Amino acid sequence: MNTYGLATIVKNEEITAGIWKMELAASEIAHTAEPGQFIMLYPLDKRNLLARPTSLSAISEKSVTIVYRIAGKGTKQFSQLQKNDSIRIMGPLGNGFTLPDQATKSIVVGGGLGIPPLLELSNRNSKSCCFWWADAISLINTLRGMKVDIHKRKPVLANRIGGYSGPGIMPVALRMVYEVCHSVDVPVIGMGGISIYEDDNTFIFASLRTAGD
Q: Among residues 28, 4, 27, 29, which one has the least CA distance to residue 90?
A: 4
Higher pLDDT, 148 or 185: 148
Backbone angles phi, psi at 85, to 5 degrees: -70, 165
d(CA 12, CA 15): 9
In this predicted structure, what is the pLDDT of residue 130?
42
CATH value of 3-93 in 3.20.20.20, 3.90.1150.10, 2.40.30.10, 3.30.450.20: 2.40.30.10
pLDDT band at 205 (very low <50, low <70, confident <90, very high): confident
- Domain segments of the chain: what residues? 3-93, 136-207
Q: Is the pLDDT of residue 43 over 90?
A: no
Q: What is the mean pLDDT of residues 189-213?
A: 76
CB 38 within 8 A of CB 116: no
Higher local confidence (pLDDT), 6 or 210: 6
pTM of the predicted model as reported, rounded to 2 decimal places: 0.60
Residue closest to 29 by CA, chosen among 81, 53, 65: 65
Among residues 43, 35, 37, 36, which one has the least CA distance to residue 2? 37
Element (H, E) at 12: strand 3-16
* pLDDT score for 6: 93
pLDDT of residue 73: 87
In this predicted structure, the answer to whether residue 161 has a pLDDT above a threshold of 70 is yes
Distance CA 78, CA 86 (A): 10
